[in-house]
Amino acid sequence: AAGVIQSPRHLIKEKRETATLKCYPIPRHDTVYWYQQGPGQDPQFLISFYEKMQSDKGSIPDRFSAQQFSDYHSELNMSSLELGDSALYFCASSNSRGGAMNTIYFGEGSWLTVV
């Protein structure tokens, strides 16, 4: 079965540079979530989108922005990168029409290293 696809899988950027991560949800999933997992940390919720509109916002820095496009894929844009932004970034998706509780499925993650 198709899963959540994230690209790139690995990314190395220098401080103050910009990075863009892409996420392709499972087909027919209408909700996308972004999480950040620092080294040895639990995943922290950043932001989510439902039907191309922002649905919830967590601990996402102002330097970061995200959007969901008409084909439901999402991009996370990170500017003025700092060393502390080095982390594993997960995208996840769910189908809001799936019933009382829609399981959230995670991608393999994108490793961002800021040097």
106 binds another protein per the rule CB under 8 A: yes
CB 33 within 8 A of CB 93: yes
Instruction: Choose among 81, 72, 61, 94: nearest CA to 20.
Output: 81
Provide the minimum distance between the beta carbon of 58 and another protein in the complex, in angstroms, as a whole number.
7
24 binds another protein per the rule CB under 8 A: no
Q: Among residues 25 and 43, whose Cβ is nearest to another protein?
A: 43
- Which range in 18-26, 59-67, 72-80, 96-104 contacts another protein by CB under 8 A? 96-104
Angstrom distances, CA of residue 43 to CA of 16, 40, 91, 99: 24, 10, 11, 25
Question: What 8-state DSSP symbol labels residue 4?
Answer: -
List contacts with another protein (CB under 8 A). 31, 33, 42-45, 48, 50, 55-56, 58, 90, 92, 100-101, 103-109
